[in-house]
Amino acid sequence: MAARVRELMDAQHHCFLGEIQPLLTAEGIVLLRPKDTSDEQERFLEEYFRRTLLPVLTPLAVDPGQPFPYLGNRSPCLVVSIRPSTPSALRVSSLSVIHIPSQVLPRFVALPDPTGRHVFMLLEDVIRQHLPSIYNGDDVLASHAIRVTRDADLHTRGGPEDLLTSIEEGVRERRLGTAVRLQYDAHLSSDIRATLLDELELSPEDLYEGEGFTAFSDLFQLYAALDLPRLKDRPLPPQPVPAFERAADIWTAIRAGDVLVHHPYHTFDAVTRFVREAAVDPKVLAIKMTLYRVSPASPIAHALRTAVENGKEVTVLVELQARFDEEANIRWARTLEEVGAHVVYGRAGLKTHCKACLVVRQETDGLRRYCHLATGNYNVRTGGVYGDLGLFTSRDSFGEDLTALFNLLTGHTRPRGFHHLLLAPTDLRDGLVERIRREADHARAGRSARIIAKMNGLVDRRLIEELYDASEAGVRIDLIVRGTCCLRPAVPGLSSRIRVISIVDRYLEHARIFYFENGENAEYLLASADWMPRNLDRRVEIAFPVLDPTLQTQVREILEIQLADTVKARRILHDGSSVRIR
């Protein structure tokens, strides 16, 4: 695994340095090295360093009499070798560490350029250029960029009765996680490397040599800093949902028929509006909702707070263990509890990953339940870049299903049969197996049989074996798997009728869609779950059908468009490699 990661990191560096950076330079976007600055740029950098950078820098000595400096997770640092230039009564350490403050200052410092180019210097190079000012004239022998990766798993103690406190403690302790990787530039001396290995308790297998630049994710900062429309994707403003635009209000629109939304092509405001209008509508009695990843300024969470303040019964299941979103989730859980919402944290040992919202509204003919079910999170930020599907419906059968689902989640009632939902970890895998076998039976009987399944990951052994059996029974199977795929397609006698493609594009393909031809009664399922053991065994997930024929056609079009892709799609081969589809 480590060897393969090294290969990928090398390829990443070669791609950036050998391909991307020359193309940027050709477009007048220059990453300048300190030795290449003009006099004007040097004066600018001197002022920038003195006024902006120096006040936030803290050199930390590596001294046998002191604890080794803390190196933050995935935070670029400089390790600096120093030699006293003159005798001093104060002992001077020969080694020092400086954190590069890229969390509070831009990683790419914009420089003036008389030719009109877009010139930047890496923040660490600005620091390097001015190290003598930090070390007051001592000889700076060398400086090297390093970056430590720490174990980010959340280690909690205690039982479910104190889950919130336990996770809060785990989040605080995460910053002190065990070091698992050290990235360093190629010129770092063996002595310093040995010191870092010893202090970080790493083995040689944990070392990853790089070339100059780490933390490529910071390139998003450079992208944001450049106002160059010709080099960027053409803006695709999200479109309003036609059914909601035509109707007098959102409730009228949903009563008129099921509504399918495809984000980010449809505005995510359709979802926030659903909760926002429920929060202020005098006829709404109750809102029940799952929250898996909550943004710090979530308009949905704000609307739920408003709903409580307006006297609604609000029940929210907040998943505290959503990886890297724990802090925001904890803050909103406490905020909603403080204003009077019923906040629960799910069932012990299971992450609640399903996405569902139930609104109960008093109408002239009695109570009506409005439902929203989705493949993606209730998160405005990801709603603008993740490709997901959501379904609005007021069908009684869906309302009964969501009522039962929330009773199961909040009251820990026993699961019962649903009208429409397939639930993990109880029956989702079995429901998928049943449908795969049904297609195989159609094929054996000489009828047309087809499966199209779109997901993020395909790992589950049982489902893979069922797909193999269906393929050899005569079922035509198309899989769209963005990430990990453990199935081997196009192997004679095993998977000869299975085709797998992967699409990675401008928007992250995140929707899970499962199509089963089923003779004349095609079935379309949307789901929060991938076909992976973690989803099917260790999470609460749902799959739900699209029943409206018009919406089924829309879902089928989404699948067929992706299967016909010749721009971003790659075909996965039997050995796990991939080729572009032309």
Q: What is the dihedral of CA 387, 389, 390, 393, to 10 degrees?
A: 160
Q: Does domain 242-420 have CATH number 3.30.870.10?
A: yes
Q: Which residues contact 96 (CB under 8 A, 6 or more apart)?
A: 59, 60, 61, 62, 79, 80, 82, 135
Local structure of residue 55 (DSSP, 8 states): G
- Nearest CA-CA partner of 301 in 261, 328, 270, 263: 328
**CB 514: neighbour CB atoms within 10 A?**
24
Residue 158: per-residue pLDDT: 54
The answer to whether the 242-420 and 424-580 domains have the same CATH topology is yes
- Nearest CA-CA partner of 375 in 454, 433, 308, 322: 454
By CB neighbour count within 10 A (0-12 exposed, 13-18 middle, 19+ buried), where does 199 fall? middle
3-state class (DSSP) for residue 220 = helix
Q: At what angle do helices 461-473 and 428-444 cross, to 10 degrees?
A: 10
Question: Which residue matches tokens 């390829």?
Answer: 11
The overall longest dimension of the chain from CA atoms, in Å, is: 93
CB 408 within 8 A of CB 292: no
Residue 324: per-residue pLDDT: 60
CB 371 within 8 A of CB 400: no
CB 145 within 8 A of CB 76: yes
How far apart are alpha carbons 489 and 573 in whole angstroms? 6
Tokens of 73: 């997770």
Local structure of residue 237 (DSSP, 8 states): P
Q: What is the pLDDT along the chain (582 residues), one digit of tens a residue?
A: 778 888 888 898 899 999 999 999 999 999 999 999 999 999 999 999 999 999 999 999 988 878 899 999 889 999 999 988 766 545 556 899 999 999 899 999 999 999 999 999 999 999 999 999 998 878 899 999 999 999 877 666 555 457 667 676 666 666 778 999 999 988 889 999 999 999 999 999 999 988 767 788 889 999 999 999 999 999 999 999 999 999 999 999 999 999 999 999 999 999 999 999 999 999 999 999 999 988 889 999 999 999 999 999 999 999 887 666 677 888 888 899 999 999 998 777 899 999 999 999 999 999 999 999 999 999 999 999 999 999 999 999 999 999 999 999 999 888 778 999 999 999 999 999 999 999 999 999 999 999 999 999 999 999 999 999 999 999 999 999 999 999 999 999 999 999 999 999 999 999 999 999 999 999 999 999 999 999 999 999 999 999 999 999 999 999 999 999 999 999 999 999 999 998
For residue 211, which amino acid is it?
Answer: E
How far apart are alpha carbons 70 and 254 in whole angstroms? 54
In the chain, where the domains are located: 28-168+176-231, 242-420, 424-580
Q: Which residues contact 11 (CB under 8 A, 6 or more apart)?
A: none
- Nearest CA-CA partner of 535 in 463, 452, 471, 469: 463
Residue 348: per-residue pLDDT: 76
Question: Which residue matches tokens 């009664």?
Answer: 521
Residue 329: per-residue pLDDT: 84
- Nearest CA-CA partner of 236 in 504, 507, 502: 507
Residue 321: per-residue pLDDT: 73
Beta-bridge partner residues of 423: 542
3-state class (DSSP) for residue 315 = strand
Local structure of residue 161 (DSSP, 8 states): G
How far apart are alpha carbons 292 and 326 in whole angstroms? 9
How far apart are alpha carbons 378 and 291 in whole angstroms? 6
By CB neighbour count within 10 A (0-12 exposed, 13-18 middle, 19+ buried), where does 203 fall? exposed
- CATH number for the domain formed by residue range(s) 424-580: 3.30.870.10
For residue 283, which amino acid is it?
Answer: K
pTM: 0.90
Residue 465: per-residue pLDDT: 99
Tokens of 257: 């028929």
> CATH number of 28-168+176-231: 3.30.465.10, 3.90.550.10, 3.30.1840.10, 3.40.50.920?
3.30.1840.10
DSSP alpha helix (H) spans, 226-377 = 242-246, 250-256, 269-280, 299-309, 326-339
By residue count, the chain amounts to 582
Tokens of 12: 């990443």
Q: At what angle do helices 299-309 and 326-339 cross, to 10 degrees?
A: 10
For residue 69, which amino acid is it?
Answer: P
Residue 156: per-residue pLDDT: 62
How far apart are alpha carbons 143 and 125 in whole angstroms? 10
Which residues are tagged catalytic? 353
CB 230 within 8 A of CB 29: no
CB 543 within 8 A of CB 431: yes
CB 326 within 8 A of CB 154: yes
